[in-house]
Amino acid sequence: MIEIKKYSNQINHSEPRRVIRYTLFWCKSGSAEILIDENIFNLTAGETVTITSGQFHQLRAVEGEVTALEFTLDFFSKNDSDIELIFHNGLFCHFGMNEKISVRQPLFFTETLNLIENEISEKPYQYLISTHSLVELLLIEINRSKIANGDEIWKPDALFLKFLESVRNHFAENYQVSHFADLLGTTEAKLNEVSKLHTNKTAQNVIYSLIISEAKRLLLYEKLTVKEIAYQLGFNDPFYFSNFFKKHTSLSPKDYQKSVKN
């Protein structure tokens, strides 16, 4: 539901792993090297990076102190405002657009994470409510820091974010936009409207983008054949999947694997 982990002065922490939680790494001191999907991020003191649920990541090296905060969508998202806060200004982006963020008030950030750790450890009365509020404060501070660093304000729409989550939960079914509209109690036209607003893409092309992101992760980190990946992503024909992947990345699935691993 929610968990805090702390790391100091270590190399090669475990293997790349995937958790269905939203993860935040905070570098309190020194530096850290973190692999997220196919990209390496080097954090220094006072920097954070957010990782969306389902991405593969590995804390490869720490020289100093690093804290990881993990929480599930069910824990944090009690209403549409919570969902929108998770993704405000591109935090926990579903399209693999992770970024390092320099925090304006590092002492506040460290102290807030310590408070969360104490609440989780001691479990006082209504501690889940208090930890929820403390996570809110962390996300607000990240957003304020991004704006202070020159980023434009990007306000997400809860319906669009629910659409992204629904797509990720139903890859194998190969649902069409109309089916997702039914699942979400809205219309195909509305999904196209919010998709174009947030990504300048149709809802169908948003689905394609999420499929490609997932395909890349499976190709890099799961011991699956291209045929198995195709079926897992809702393709009945592995050849069609390979053509689809090449159309969107300019590489065949196997060539993509080789290019990244080399």
Q: Where are the domains of the chain?
A: 2-148, 158-261
pLDDT score of 19: 86
Name residue, tokens 């992760």: 217
Beta bridge partners of 34: 41, 59
H helices present in the chain, as ranges: 73-76, 80-87, 106-122, 127-148, 158-168, 177-183, 188-199, 203-221, 226-232, 238-249, 253-261
- Dist CA 104 CA 141 (whole Å): 8
pLDDT score of 12: 66
Query: 180, 168 in Cβ contact below 8 A?
Result: no
What is the reported pTM?
Answer: 0.91
pLDDT score of 146: 93
pLDDT score of 13: 67
Residue-by-residue pLDDT tens, the chain, 262 positions: 999 999 998 876 678 899 899 999 999 999 999 999 999 999 999 999 999 999 999 999 999 999 999 999 999 999 999 999 999 988 898 777 899 999 999 999 999 999 999 999 999 999 999 999 999 999 999 999 999 999 888 888 999 999 999 999 999 999 999 999 999 999 999 999 999 999 999 999 999 999 999 999 999 999 999 999 999 999 999 999 999 999 999 999 999 998 887 6
pLDDT score of 46: 98
Strand pairing report for 17-18 and 56-71? antiparallel
pLDDT score of 167: 96
Architecture of domain 2-148: Sandwich (2.60)
pLDDT score of 90: 85
The CATH classification of domain 158-261, taken from the options 3.40.1410.10, 3.40.50.1820, 1.10.10.60, 3.40.50.300 = 1.10.10.60
Determine phi and psi for 39, rounding to 5 degrees: -120, 145
Q: Do the domains 2-148 and 158-261 sit in the same CATH topology, yes or no?
A: no
Number of C-beta neighbours around residue 186 at 10 A: 16
